[in-house]
Amino acid sequence: MTPPQPTAHTPRPTLGILGGGQLAQMLALAALPLGVRVLVLEPDPHAPARLCAEHLHAPYTDPAGLSRLAECSAVTLEFENVPTQALEALAGRVPVRPGAALLERTKHRAREKEALRAAGVGTAPFVVIESGADLAGALAAVGGRGILKTSELGYDGKGQARVESDAELNAAWASVKGAACVLEGLVPFVREVSLSVARTAAGQLAFGPLIENIHREGILRTSIFPATDADTLEPQARELARACAQAWALEGLMTLEFFVVEGRELLVNEVAPRVHNSGHLTQDGGGLSQFEAQVRAVLGLPLTDWRPLHPTAMVNLVGVADATGEPVHPDWGAIDALPGTRLHLYHKAWRAGRKLGHVNLVAADAEALAARLAELERLIP
Ligand code: AMP
């Protein structure tokens, strides 16, 4: 079939997305007003993006589904663990942004950390654990206290264990059945922040804002813009993001998560080759959103830096259960009644620990934001 060509009636390109979760949903919602049609390849029949994009309901490796994506102007993704087979099937037929080489790094913690170091970017001290022999002396080498993380398929604190002795390290490695891991030294951070960078295929760079992040049980709870000490930290974060984007020949958008050490130095915790949960607050702060930024970067549309025009925060809606396992719901009416809130739901079935939506909060100044954020936090379990 001939790929769709831009015409007077369809002047804009089409975007394919590997994955149809909430990030794809919000990418599609940002793409539609630009005149961009969106196709998502996603095996889950109830995936959030099905309601606002053409849903190719098939496995990520399905040849017919991949052929439909190959007809798009460009393909992007909403998760890092895209099967290699899918990337190989698309190679040479349609630009995939970010591309296979960058994804090979970001989906594997050890490779990612080595590539960060090679780009001149600081990380936590780490030792790669691939065999029993690697365990000897590893904990001492990272400072005596650490976190063992599986190199692949870990997110939101999953596949991680804190260890403070060699016995705990051995037990943690046994509990992941000897999977390839990274042992990281425990970083005494004072805060966590994140920043996204986008780069077009022509090499044009643009940056998102520095955002401050607060986690609960390994899952992001709250994000705030502007971040504490942004005046000194944001220029550093941008330089580190620029170094990575250029060294890794980024096409599309990626997000760096940082630890702030002693209030001034930034170490990179991890890199996501896509929009990020922390950047959801850019949907309502008044500037360009991270979702539109990714769409523009991937399709080569004009792109500028993006940042909220007003102080903005985001609180995640994560499924919380009471002692009997029953859902504890947010106070929906009070959330809607709080000035400056905007609700974003993902059309997912409730499950404890599952991200179901988020609430953005915008205020005229930092003081009003802090006061309303404290109120909002009380309304969300
Ligand atoms: P991750 O899945 O690597 O993003 O880790 C989830 C959260 O665990 C991070 O946002 C931090 O709050 C915490 N964490 C991860 N790695 C470290 C580390 N090396 N030192 C201290 N805290 C960490």
pTM for the complete prediction? 0.94
Is the pLDDT score of 10 beyond 90? no
The reported pLDDT for the residue numbered 263 is 76
* CATH (one of 3.40.50.300, 3.40.50.720, 3.40.190.10, 3.30.1490.20) for 125-185: 3.30.1490.20
Return the pLDDT at 157.
64
* The dihedral sign for the CA sequence 310, 313, 317, 323: negative
218-270 pLDDT, tens digit each: 899 999 999 999 999 999 999 999 999 999 999 999 999 999 998 789 999 99
The dihedral through the CA atoms of 341, 273, 247, 126 has a sign that is positive
Exposure string of 17-53, with b = 16+ CB inside 10 Å and e = fewer, is bbbbbbbbbbbbbbbeeeebbbbbbbeeeebbbbebb
CB 266 near ligand 1, within 6 Å: no
Containing 357, the helix (H) or strand (E) segment is strand 355-362
Q: Tell me, in angstroms, the distance from the centre of ligand 1 to residue 145's CA.
A: 13
Ligand 1: which of 81, 108, 147, 266 to mutate, most ligand atoms within 8 Å of CB?
147
Q: What's the gap in Å between 100 CA and the centre of ligand 1?
A: 26
**Cβ(147) – ligand 1 distance below 6 Å:** yes
For ligand 1, atom 13, name the residue with the nearest CA.
218
**What are the tens digits of pLDDT across the range 22-48?**
999 999 999 999 999 999 999 999 999
CATH of domain 189-379: 3.30.470.20
C-alpha of residue 281 to centroid of ligand 1, in Å: 21
What residues does each domain of the chain span?
A: 14-96, 125-185, 189-379
- CA 156 to centroid of ligand 1, rounded, Å: 9
Query: Bigger pLDDT: 9 or 337?
Result: 337
Q: How far is CA 39 from CA 174, 280, 297, in A?
A: 42, 21, 17
269 lines ligand 1 (CB under 6 A): yes
Closest ligand 1 atom to residue 184 Cα is: 19
Q: What is the pLDDT of residues 142-157, one digit of tens each?
A: 999 999 999 998 666 6
Q: What is the pLDDT of residue 4?
A: 44
Is 192 near ligand 1, meaning CB less than 6 Å away? yes
Residue nearest to atom 9 of ligand 1 (CA): 218
Pocket perturbation via mutation, ligand 1, pick of 80, 269, 276 by most ligand atoms within 8 A of CB: 269
Q: What does the pLDDT look like over 89-141, one tens digit per residue?
A: 999 999 999 999 999 999 999 999 999 999 999 999 999 999 999 999 999 99
215 lines ligand 1 (CB under 6 A): yes
Are 14-96 and 125-185 in the same CATH fold? no
Classify the phi-psi angles of 205: left when phi > 0, otherwise alpha if psi is within -120 to 50, otherwise beta.
Answer: beta
CATH of range 14-96; options 3.20.20.80, 3.40.50.970, 3.40.50.20, 3.40.640.10: 3.40.50.20
